[in-house]
């Protein structure tokens, strides 16, 4: 029996797929067609020889829905494996952001000072702007972006979350 | 040995190597090279349909009546889009198909070329898998993979989209033995520990019910035998979904009839009141469960399904077993025997007593008439008069479909072809074409509605062209009957657009198609008319004019629970049923 409004949970799924045309469309189509949420999506080829790509999806849902998403992903023909890296809490998640800030004088100095505190790197600079590169957990990036807002934030580009499990084992 | 040939030749060779005998299709610009090769060979028989939707439904009928993979060949653009309804139907009902679509040449893809459409994009959500083959050297592998994916695991339709230049290009062909899919290996054997737990649960049951579905039929005839064995061994009552009819013989006393929205009172009440439910190859569809939060409130549930995503999708179960029905049933029976189970006999006897009381309500009863043919009566007579024949039934969608499921009794699997999941009006006639091709000497009847059958009526031409003596038995109530019934019960009797205005004269229509037309409107003439139909060795359209206002009962209105069924006014009052049955029991 369905439970009444059980709490939703946020899970990060790592999906190993054949790097073939349309595979991302299959995964995304599954989410939109069945009404699941995508909070973040990252995809890139990871093993060129075997033509494998890894898709990292962050999604929100009740435990029953999360279980459904995993099963639905697993039955897609080009999907090799689906790992819920959130289960067990033994995963590392990171995101990369590029943050463009425009300003002069004290605001510019303050932006640079904060970037140093966050261990961001300057990857582009003009006399009136910086582009910072920052890696870390999503909330760290959120925090940094929040701090840049009053200092002349122009735009942000983020990769979305990538994740991997701790320890010596592969997924 | 790999040999060099054109892409078009590879298509023919691959189909022959996959033991395909019939291809249902319709030619067009983007598949001309394949049609040219078809013309020059005699191993494959092409069946020319009149609309691509018909090709897919015919292949479905073929597949579901044989257990083999159905095969379709259509052109690009409209050929592919017309096939979409059939593909979706096959996906919903887990029917194995391979549909080959032509595509514009690779250099024109994306240019909005004539008869171009994004076939793999359009068919992605309505197929189990699909391929666009851009290199002729991939073609043989992809075609063999397509057959493997279509037939293994939970069966489904697979589309292979082949651009025209790939059909002309030369490459190396390899046979099916050299092809193995990289990753797709469905799990057939169920987890033994879970099966053990299921057997223990079943052994202790006081009010058990087995609920089986189309998965048992799909698993093959061995699974149906094993299901019968399990039911006999356990002494449990069994009900089935629309898709599962025939896997268990309807004449067996342990059979409760179909369950669900138009299922029998005893089947639905048993589902509601059971303490152990064993679901084998069914998927807790909303037409089965009714209101989910009131579904079978006191039961422990076992669910066997080859598709892990079916388990815990709609209804939470206690033991989910991923595996093929046949394999799991085999293990279940073996473990049941090995543990020499002692069931709770007094509890089971009391449960059967309760079931007999429910049966006593005679939920399928209807008031017959001597003036007008009742649709239920028409199907009862059709069943009675065809009992000595080798019968295959297809249906369209609506009231007639439900009456056919209620009143036509099936003893064997693969005899009942109906559109369950998608509910596609127009399925039955082309499906009958496919069934008749697979079983040339059998009696194939499409129990139809007059509205549904008009959606694919043009396939009568196909039946006539290939001399397929299918019988189209139209339950003609001049309404989209199920729409009318819902409008009567739920929309204040406002029959919005559900009257079949300006119907053709079906007898003359039959004649126009060069087949035989028969009309019957009187109950006392019905038997003679059906006999006349059965005596004709040609396609027949039988216009059975029935009571236009008859409703299909029992019915669980959408969003209600199993124990909130509406019964027809001919059903017996429960008190009366108890006393009547009480005499028999005591």
Residues of A in contact with B130 (CB under 8 A): 22
Given pLDDT bands bounded at 50, 70 and 90, which one contains residue A4? Answer: low
Contacts for B339-347: CB closer than 8 Å, 24+ residues apart: B339/B199, B339/B203, B341/B199, B341/B202, B341/B203, B342/B203, B343/B203, B343/B205, B343/B234, B343/B235, B344/B204, B344/B205, B344/B206, B347/B205, B347/B206, B347/B207
pLDDT recorded at residue B235: 96
Arithmetic mean of pLDDT, B309-329: 96
Given pLDDT bands bounded at 50, 70 and 90, which one contains residue A137? Answer: very high
pLDDT recorded at residue B65: 98
> What digits encode the pLDDT tens for the residues B28-52?
999 999 999 999 999 999 999 999 9
Is residue A61 classed as helix, strand or coil in its secondary structure?
Answer: strand
Quick check: B316 and A1 CB within 8 A? yes
> What digits encode the pLDDT tens for the residues B255-265?
999 999 999 99
Which of A1, A22, A33 is nearest residue B120 as measured by Cβ atoms?
Answer: A22
Peptide bond into B241 cis (omega under 30): no
Given pLDDT bands bounded at 50, 70 and 90, which one contains residue B513? Answer: very high
* Residue B501 token pair: 């205005």
Quick check: A22 and B312 CB within 8 A? no
Given pLDDT bands bounded at 50, 70 and 90, which one contains residue B581? Answer: very low
Nearest chain B CA: its distance from A97 CA (Å) = 32
Q: Which of A34, A64, A66, A75 to mutate to test the interface with B (most CBs of B within 10 A)?
A: A75
> What digits encode the pLDDT tens for the residues B143-196?
999 999 999 999 999 999 999 999 999 999 999 987 888 888 899 999 999 999
Q: Give the ipTM of the model, two decimals please.
A: 0.87
Residues of A in contact with B148 (CB under 8 A): none
Domains of chain B, with CATH numbers? 3-178 (3.40.50.970), 192-359 (3.40.50.1220), 375-545 (3.40.50.970)
* Residue A37 token pair: 């949420």
Which of B120, B149, B308 is nearest residue A77 as measured by Cβ atoms?
Answer: B149
pLDDT recorded at residue B2: 65
Quick check: B309 and A22 CB within 8 A? no
pLDDT recorded at residue B380: 98
pLDDT of A3 > 60? The answer is no
* Residue B109 token pair: 């893809």
Rg of chain B, C-alpha, whole Å:
25
Q: How far is CA B552 from CA A39, A101, B200, B567, in A?
A: 46, 70, 39, 9
The DSSP line for B192-225 is HHHHHHHHHHHHT-SSEEEEE-HHHHHH-HHHHH
Quick check: A22 and B132 CB within 8 A? yes
Quick check: A25 and B124 CB within 8 A? yes
Q: Is B277 a catalytic residue?
A: no
CB B417, CB B445: distance < 8 Å: no
Nearest C-alpha neighbor of B283 from the set A68, A136, A42: A68
DSSP structure class, residue B309: G
B498 Cβ neighbours under 8 A, 6+ residues apart: B479, B480, B483, B484, B487
Quick check: B311 and A71 CB within 8 A? yes
The residue written with tokens 């691509």 in the block is B52
pLDDT recorded at residue A170: 82
The DSSP line for A86-144 is TGGG-EEEEEEEEEEEE--HHHHHHHHHHHHHTT-EEEEEETTEEEEEEEE-HHHHHHH
Nearest C-alpha neighbor of B424 from the set B64, B54, B85, B83: B85
Catalytic option among B60, B103, B147, B164: B164
Q: How many CB pairs under 8 A join A and B?
A: 53
Residues of B in contact with A71 (CB under 8 A): 307-309, 311
In this predicted structure, which of A43-57, B228-242, B457-471 has the lowest mean pLDDT?
A: A43-57
Quick check: B153 and A71 CB within 8 A? no
d(CA B495, CA B486): 9
Q: Is B115 a catalytic residue?
A: yes
**For all residues of chain B together, what is the average pLDDT?**
95
Catalytic option among B10, B269, B332, B482: B482
Quick check: A1 and B125 CB within 8 A? no
pLDDT of B575 > 80? The answer is no
d(CA B423, CA B419): 5
pLDDT recorded at residue B579: 41
- What φ, ψ does residue B191 adopt, rounded to 5°? -65, 115
DSSP structure class, residue B69: P
Per-position b or e across A11-23, b if 16+ CB within 10 A of its CB: bbbbbbbbbeebb
**% of chain B beyond a pLDDT of 70:** 97
* Residue A102 token pair: 């425009």
pLDDT recorded at residue A5: 67
Beta-bridged to residue A100, according to DSSP, are: A131, A155
Catalytic option among B114, B170, B193, B411: B114
Nearest chain A CA: its distance from B582 CA (Å) = 34
pLDDT recorded at residue B580: 45
Q: Which of A77, A81, A84 to mutate to test the interface with B (most CBs of B within 10 A)?
A: A77
Nearest chain A CA: its distance from B183 CA (Å) = 6
DSSP structure class, residue B324: -
Arithmetic mean of pLDDT, B5-15: 98
Q: Which of B110, B125, B156 to mutate to test the interface with A (most CBs of A within 10 A)?
A: B125
pLDDT recorded at residue B181: 86
d(CA B391, CA B470): 11
Give the per-residue SS3 of B384-426: HHCCCCCEEEEECCCHHHHHHHHHCCCCCCCCEECCCCCCCCC
Phi-psi region of A167 (alpha: psi -120 to 50; beta: other; left: phi over 0): left
Domains of chain A, with CATH numbers? 9-89 (3.30.70.260), 92-164 (3.30.70.1150)
d(CA B264, CA B270): 10
Is residue B276 classed as helix, strand or coil in its secondary structure?
Answer: strand
Quick check: A22 and B292 CB within 8 A? no
Rg of chain A, C-alpha, whole Å:
19
Quick check: A29 and B125 CB within 8 A? yes
Given pLDDT bands bounded at 50, 70 and 90, which one contains residue B577? Answer: very low
A75 Cβ neighbours under 8 A, 6+ residues apart: B153, B154, B307, B308, B309
Nearest chain B CA: its distance from A23 CA (Å) = 10
Q: Is B3 a catalytic residue?
A: no
Quick check: B316 and A64 CB within 8 A? yes
Dihedral, A80, B142, B74, B91 alpha carbons, nearest 10: -30
Q: Is B206 a catalytic residue?
A: no
Nearest chain B CA: its distance from A22 CA (Å) = 8
Q: Is B284 a catalytic residue?
A: no
Per-position b or e across B312-345, b if 16+ CB within 10 A of its CB: bbbbbbebbbbbbbbbbbbbbbebbeeeeeebee
pLDDT of B418 > 90? The answer is yes
d(CA B487, CA B496): 8
Arithmetic mean of pLDDT, A86-95: 87
CB B89, CB B419: distance < 8 Å: yes
Nearest chain A CA: its distance from B308 CA (Å) = 6
Q: How far is CA A171 from CA A55, A65, B454, in A?
A: 13, 22, 54
From B284, which residue of chain A is nearest by alpha-carbon distance?
A1
């Amino acid at each position: 029996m369905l439970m009444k409004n059980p709490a939703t949970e946020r899970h990060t799924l790592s999906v190993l797929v054949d790097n073939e045309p349309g595979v991302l469309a299959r995964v995304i189509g599954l989410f939109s067609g069945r009404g699941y949420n995508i909070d973040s999506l990252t995809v890139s080829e990871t093993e060129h020889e075997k033509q494998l790509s890894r898709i990292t999806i962050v999604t929100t849902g009740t435990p029953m829905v999360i279980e459904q998403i995993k099963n639905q992903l697993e039955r897609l023909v080009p999907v090799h494996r689906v790992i819920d890296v959130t289960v067990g809490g033994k995963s590392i998640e990171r995101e990369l952001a590029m943050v463009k800030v425009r300003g002069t004088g004290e605001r510019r100095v303050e932006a640079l000072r904060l970037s140093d505190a966050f261990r961001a790197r300057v990857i582009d600079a003009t006399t009136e702007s910086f582009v910072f590169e920052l890696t870390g957990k999503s909330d760290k990036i959120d925090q940094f972006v929040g701090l840049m807002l009053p200092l002349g934030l122009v735009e942000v580009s983020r990769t979305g979350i990538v994740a991997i499990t701790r320890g010596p084992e592969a997924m | 040995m790999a040999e060099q040939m054109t892409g078009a030749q590879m298509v023919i060779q691959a189909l022959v190597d996959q033991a395909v005998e019939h291809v249902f299709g319709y030619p067009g610009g983007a598949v001309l090279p394949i049609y040219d090769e078809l013309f020059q060979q005699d191993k494959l028989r092409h069946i020319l349909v009149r609309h691509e939707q018909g090709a897919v439904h015919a292949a479905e009928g073929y597949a579901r009546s044989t257990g083999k993979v159905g095969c379709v060949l259509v052109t690009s653009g409209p050929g592919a889009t017309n096939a979409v309804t059939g593909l979706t139907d096959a996906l919903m009902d887990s029917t194995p198909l391979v549909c080959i679509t032509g595509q514009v040449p690779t250099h024109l893809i994306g240019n909005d070329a004539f008869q171009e459409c994004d076939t793999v994009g359009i068919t992605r959500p309505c197929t189990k898998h699909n391929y666009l083959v851009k290199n002729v050297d991939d073609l043989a592998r992809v075609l063999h993979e397509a057959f493997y994916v279509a037939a293994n695991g939970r069966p489904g339709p697979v589309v292979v989209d082949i651009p025209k230049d790939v059909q002309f290009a030369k490459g190396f062909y390899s046979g099916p033995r050299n092809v193995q899919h990289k990753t797709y290996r469905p799990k057939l054997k169920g987890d033994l520990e879970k099966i053990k737990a299921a057997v223990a649960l079943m052994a202790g049951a006081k009010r058990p019910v087995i609920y089986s579905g189309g998965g048992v039929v799909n698993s093959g005839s061995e699974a149906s035998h094993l299901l019968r064995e399990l039911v006999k061994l356990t002494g449990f009552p069994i009900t089935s979904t629309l898709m599962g009819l025939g896997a268990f013989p309807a004449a067996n006393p342990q059979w409760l009839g179909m369950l669900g929205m138009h299922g029998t009172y005893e089947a639905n009440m048993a589902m509601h009141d059971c303490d152990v439910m064993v679901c084998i190859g069914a998927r807790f569809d909303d037409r089965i469960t009714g209101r989910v939060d009131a579904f079978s409130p006191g039961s422990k549930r076992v669910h066997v399904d080859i598709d892990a995503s079916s388990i815990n999708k709609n209804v939470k179960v206690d033991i989910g077993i991923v595996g093929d029905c046949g394999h799991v049933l085999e293990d279940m029976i073996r473990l049941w025997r090995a543990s020499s189970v002692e069931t709770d006999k007094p509890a089971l006897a009391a449960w059967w007593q309760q079931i007999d009381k429910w049966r006593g309500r005679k939920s399928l009863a209807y008031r017959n008439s001597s003036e007008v043919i009742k649709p239920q009566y028409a199907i009862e007579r059709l069943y009675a008069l065809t009992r000595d024949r080798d019968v295959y039934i297809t249906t369209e969608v609506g009231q007639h479909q439900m009456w056919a499921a209620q009143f036509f009794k099936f003893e064997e699997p693969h005899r009942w072809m109906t559109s369950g999941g998608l509910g596609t009006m127009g399925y039955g006639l082309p499906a009958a074409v496919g069934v008749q091709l697979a079983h040339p000497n059998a009696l194939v009847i499409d129990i139809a509605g007059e509205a549904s059958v008009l959606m694919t009526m043009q396939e009568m031409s196909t039946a006539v062209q290939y001399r397929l003596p299918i019988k189209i038995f139209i339950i003609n109530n001049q309404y989209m009957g199920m729409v009318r019934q819902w409008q009567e019960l739920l929309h204040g009797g406002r029959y919005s657009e559900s009257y079949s205005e300006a119907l053709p004269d079906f007898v003359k229509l039959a004649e126009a198609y060069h087949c035989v037309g028969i009309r019957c409107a009187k109950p006392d003439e019905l038997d003679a008319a059906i006999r006349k139909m059965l005596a004709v060795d040609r396609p027949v359209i039988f216009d059975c004019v029935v009571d236009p206002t008859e409703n299909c009962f029992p019915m669980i209105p959408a969003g209600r629970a199993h124990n909130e069924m509406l019964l027809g006014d001919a059903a017996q009052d429960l008190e009366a049923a108890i006393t009547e049955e009480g005499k028999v029991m005591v």
